[in-house]
Structure 1
């Protein structure tokens, strides 16, 4: 089965969006990718079986890139 991308619209407070996009930019990551990662983490925390993308995310967390390590230590 092929994965198809879909759009999702949500309403958030303007200040929350501004802070979130700034935090994502500070990490040099698109905020859409951060949201997808947070969604995968939330699903995994609920005990839902992991998908391939979730497994990839867990591997990224276990072995963060140099850029991620630098942003965490900053």
Structure 2
């Protein structure tokens, strides 16, 4: 389940990034950062399941930072 969700989030994030690069329209950048953060959260949960807690916590911290950046981008947009 987590693997499928990670792949779906990665593809959607890649599509948002590609859209921004092709059209030079970066208005949806905060959505892309939020989706990338969710991907990191899913990867962190997978690391916790593999008993690698250090990498898991690192991914969760990256998720929290990207969530902060995405919220800040949403409020300033």
Q: Which TM bucket (shorter chain)?
A: 0.3 to 0.5
Larger Rg: 1
Greater RCO, 1 or 2 (C-alpha within 8 Å, sep 6+): 2
Q: TM-score when scaled to structure 1?
A: 0.33
Q: TM-score when scaled to structure 2?
A: 0.33
